[in-house]
Amino acid sequence: MVETSQTRSERRSIPTRLERQNPLTFVAYVALLAFVLWSFQGAGWSFSALVSGGPSMVDFLSRAWPPTTERLPQLSTALLETFQMALAGTVIGVILSVPLAMMATRGLTRPTVLGRAFGASARLLIAFFRTVPDLVWALVFVISVGLGPFAGTLAIAVDTIGFCGRFFAESMEDVEKGPGEALTAAGASRLDTIFCAVIPAAMPSFITTSLFALEKATRSSVVLGLVGAGGIGIELKVAMDFFDYQLAMTIILMIFALVLVVERLGSIARRNILEGNSQ
């Protein structure tokens, strides 16, 4: 078979995925790679330290096993308090997220100067709640309301507002515009359009996002206890401070079981919601 010049040209051509980048893009990729490598250096990444720390980890595990069951009733009460913090904070945060997300959703507020100002303020507030870590919120509320689970609940609620507010707003922005436009053309008010067309269409996403928020809050509530915001976290801190590794292992396994159960129930609920919505 005679190879034509066109065939040779096609054979020599570089595939699309290997196309040569322009110099500016190439320099950007090199700079990004250099920044990643520099970040590893700044983070103190060391394979030698990782290897040399292996015996210490083995020593910890040998001293932590088997877990103790001496304080299991008290730990169970603290674990229940941890989940109560997560559940109450998530419920409060989800409820407060809905009106804030409505104001932050582009297209739902009135196209006036005041409406745009409300929308920008709501988006800025959601971003602020989401940017500040929940551990910082816990420290703030421990100072304001004192030690205990109430401070942790408030911290989780604020963190949930930042988490759910963003995704709720995005869900309402992504809904099909047809039903809402039809209601508006029929003379429905803006609130009627939101509650009768936008929110029902976004409700499956609201529910799945709320379940994700509960899973996130369950993990966070453990860490919040380390700063005095209630729950089982303070028990873990005390156990580690007193080198009671068997008790610490018991607490770690209890936390693992709680998070596993919450995530499993959340997965089942999300699957049922998605299946019901597709029917």
Please say whether the beta carbons of 102 and 108 come within 8 A: yes
Q: Who contacts 239 (Cβ-Cβ below 8 Å, separation ≥6)?
A: 245, 247, 248, 251
Degrees (nearest 5) of the Cα angle 139, 144, 150?
75
CB of 83 within 8 A of CB of 233? no
CB-CB contact of 257 with 222 (8 Å): no
pTM: 0.73
Of 56-65, 104-113, 183-192, minimum mean pLDDT range:
183-192
For the chain, the structural domain boundaries read 75-278
Question: What does the pLDDT read at residue 1?
Answer: 47
**CATH class entry, domain 75-278:** mainly alpha
Instruction: Say which range, 13-17, 168-172, 272-276, has the weakest mean pLDDT.
Output: 13-17
Q: Find the mean pLDDT for residues 34-44.
A: 81
Per the structure block, which two tokens stand in for 77? 């009460």
At 49-63, the pLDDT tens digits run: 767 767 777 766 776
Integer-rounded Cα Rg, in Å, for the chain is 26
**pLDDT in the model for residue 36:** 86
Predicted confidence at residue 187, as pLDDT, reads: 66
How confident is the model over 133-188, as pLDDT tens digits? 888 888 888 888 877 788 888 888 888 888 888 888 877 777 777 666 676 666 66
